[in-house]
Amino acid sequence: MNMATKQLACTVEAGRKQKTWFAELRRDVFEAGKPYAIIQADTPHDLFHVMGVPVVTNQWWAAVISTKQLSQEYLDGMTALGYHEDLCRYCSLGLASTLIDLKERAPWGGLPKPALLCARLTCDCIQRIFSLWADAFGAEFIALEAPGSSVLPDRWWELSRHRWEELSEPYRLDLMVEELRKLIASLEKLTGKQFDMVALRALLERVNQQEEYFEEAHRLIATAPKCPVRISEQITNVMAAQWHRGTDWALEHARKFRDEIRQRVDEGVAACPNEKLRLMWVGAGLWHNTGFYTAFEKRYGAVFVWSMYLAFGPDWYIRYGLDDPLRALASRVVTMNEVLHNAPYAPEWIVKEARFNRIDGVVLLMPKGSRPSASGTLFIANALEAEGIPTLLVEADMVDARGWDNDAAERAMVNFIEGRL
């Protein structure tokens, strides 16, 4: 999506923010030796924010690489180095950008050396990828466990805000709090600062407010006669704020995003005035070809109105009852992947969202190289079909464009729209 196709002022601002922020990060690291961290999306960003340590999220960086159409060179380079083709591209593309030197063509100048890397061990490849990455940088790697749940409550979104202790299970929270304390000790050593629990509570309260703005935006989009903003712009605005969540900028941007959507709804502005079919995209963004989301608007009035990025924040990030802010943060971290991807958590939530957003058909991304992301896809598809909501599985990787056949994908979509919708 180029600048001319953006419909929201907020979208332009969010893109500018990320570029400016990353340029400032590189300057601070190279000129002032300021420490920063590379971390996974499901790690406790909030602790780094409180300690004043900037973070680059691995998945965000992979999306940047893919959007700039550089994933093929990096991943071909990994193959030439002897890495196997089935390695998760989403998690390993950042490592590739460090091992393969594209010199001046590196996205946004490339990653400077981090002080540490942090990841939760949510699948078999994570520990090895991040260990190798840390070795390449000569940086510390902090691994967090991902203990499995023994209780699978129905309708998790009804528990996550007030009854998060029950949802996440006390023994799992005990372990995660212990690990978060070890992470805090490393951050204190790195920065020379003392961790402030009061500051963490204040940050989490701002995160709650930020997600409440997103919840209002989500409801406006779901209930408007026609979708006021495409999912590409939803994702850009939401994730820019989520990577900086709880900061003054993120809170203000979430409010602006909500206000701009409200104005469009009040004025009857639709992203696609020809809207006839409402589509849902399940999975990570198709970062190497976001134009796919708008390819069927003109001919069919088929509009992608939903992705997980806006809807998931309010349902999962909000935590009320912050007497023990570290434990509340642990509850958000410890079950994130399960509720987003695994059965029965994910299918129930997706069906709920499909109903609320008046979805006519669902397209599900099946990335074979990313097991955590793909593990629940068939369960989700079966649950939607059982509710009478047609589904289409698209086998493709979110960041690796090498296996993407755009003509075949568009034919599958045409057959899906004409044959089932």
Write the pLDDT tens digit of every residue in 240-275. 999 999 999 999 999 999 999 999 999 999 999 999
pLDDT in tens, 10-48: 999 999 999 999 999 999 999 999 999 999 999 999 999
- The pLDDT score that the predictor gives to residue 373 is 65
Which amino acid appears at position 289 of this protein? Answer: N
Query: Residue 85 pLDDT more than 70?
Result: yes
Give the DSSP H or E segment for 178: helix 170-191
pLDDT over 80 (residue 55): yes
Q: What is the pLDDT of residue 412?
A: 98
Tell me: pLDDT of 4 over 60.
Answer: no
**Is 50 exceeded by the pLDDT of residue 209?**
yes
Q: Is there a contact between 277 and 303 (Cβ–Cβ < 8 Å)? A: yes
Best CA proximity match to 387, nearest among 414, 415, 416, 350: 350
Phi-psi bin for 71: left (phi > 0), alpha (psi -120 to 50), beta?
A: alpha
Whether the per-residue pLDDT at 1 is higher than 50: the answer is: no
- Could you report the per-residue pLDDT of 386-405, keeping only the tens digit for each? 999 999 999 999 999 998 99
Sheet with 361-366: strands ordered across: 302-306, 277-282, 361-366, 391-395
What does the alpha-carbon distance between residue 255 and residue 10 come to, in Å, rounded to a whole number? 10
Q: What is the pLDDT of residues 98-148, one digit of tens each?
A: 999 999 999 999 999 999 999 999 888 899 999 999 999 999 999 999 988
Question: Strand order in 37-39's β-sheet?
Answer: 55-57, 37-39, 116-120, 140-144
Q: What is the mean pLDDT of the chain?
A: 95
pLDDT value of position 230: 96
Question: Which of 49-53, 264-268, 373-377 shows the lowest per-residue confidence on average (mean pLDDT)?
Answer: 373-377
Q: Which residue has the tokens 């402030």?
A: 196
Q: What is the pLDDT of residues 148-195, one digit of tens each?
A: 888 888 999 999 999 999 999 999 999 999 999 999 999 999 999 999
How far is residue 385's CA from residue 29's CA, in Å, rounded to a whole number? 50
Q: What is the mean pLDDT of residues 65-79?
A: 96
Q: Is the pLDDT of residue 311 over 60?
A: yes
Sorted by where each begins, the domain ranges of the chain are: 3-420
